[in-house]
Amino acid sequence: MIMESRGIEIDPASFHEDAELYLAVRADGFAGPRYELMREQLWTYAVNALAGMMRSGVIGERCPRAGLWHTEVEMLRRNRDLRDQLSLDTVIGADASWFNGEYGLRSWDPGKKAGLRTYFMGSLLSFELPNVMRRWRNTRLREEAIAASLIPLGRGVDGLDAVVLRDVLRQVLEEATLTQKGICGLIFTEDLTHKEIGERLGGKSAAAVAAQLRRLRVTASALVRSGRLDVPAGYLGGFGAVEDGGV
């Protein structure tokens, strides 16, 4: 479990410890046991600090380049698994370039005021985290668009509705056929038309793709009527409108 911290403030003792370890690691040629120890310490610190910023809601202020929406900040505050995943994704994404590249670990100056951990966090907040957040948003918006097409709603989709929609979509896809899962997978990952999806799936027509999605909506409706799909009461009206001949 990730132990979420409150921020990136470093006490003077930690700064000197970082400087001493860094000089030893540099003398070792950025390899060996001390290098691996430094790497593990920075990884652990950064993941915990990022998750802590997300939990406290200050991540938008600390990382303005991510351009987080208010609803996204709230989603991060409420969902620990999401915080853990995005924090890990950020550190993993920066690992190779920061630890092995010219402008990461090797460019830190122990003589300056910024500690090594602060330096690492600054790099993550400026470069890798905005990329991770954009990918998260794009994936989420695709999922929500698919869920909205499969699950007709009588109202707009706000941030909290979106959380429900994704969970409902997960439950629906558990009942989907392989073909339906393949279609939804292509919609998740690529911006394709029904015709293009059909071509990817062995020459199916656009009408055939649309029919598969329509059948999946019928499946969702049947799951709701049978009580097997856990959908909040406010969403039931939309499902009730889905019949075997629906679009």
Q: State the average pLDDT for the chain.
A: 80
For the chain, domain boundaries: 12-138, 151-240
Higher pLDDT, residue 178 or 206: 206
How much is the pLDDT for 155? 45
How much is the pLDDT for 123? 93
How much is the pLDDT for 115? 85
Q: With bands split at pLDDT 50, 70 and 90, how would you rate the model's confidence at 15?
A: low
Token pair listed for 116: 């090594």
The three state secondary structure string of the chain is CCCCCCCCCCCHHHHHHHHHHHHHHHHCCCCCHHHHHHHHHHHHHHHHHHHHHHHHCCHHHHCHHHCCCHHHHHHHHHCHHHHHHHHHHHHHHHHHHHHHCCCCHHHCCCCCCCCHHHHHHHHHHHHHHHHHHHHHHHHHHHHHHHHHHHCCCCCCCCHHHHHHHHHHHHHHHHCCCHHHHHHHHHHHHCCCCHHHHHHHCCCCCHHHHHHHHHHHHHHHHHHHHHCCCCCCHHHHHHHHCCCCCCC
Token pair listed for 10: 């470093």
Q: What percent of the chain has pLDDT over 90?
A: 34
pLDDT digits (tens, 9 = 90+) for 73-101: 998 998 898 999 999 999 999 998 999 88
How much is the pLDDT for 122? 93
pLDDT digits (tens, 9 = 90+) for 97-144: 999 888 889 988 887 767 889 999 999 999 999 999 999 998 877 766
Q: With bands split at pLDDT 50, 70 and 90, how would you rate the model's confidence at 147?
A: low
How much is the pLDDT for 216? 86
Higher pLDDT, residue 221 or 16: 221
CA distances from 217 to 52, 127, 146, 166, 242 (A): 39, 40, 11, 15, 7
User: Is the predicted pLDDT of residue 4 greater than 80, yes or no?
Assistant: no
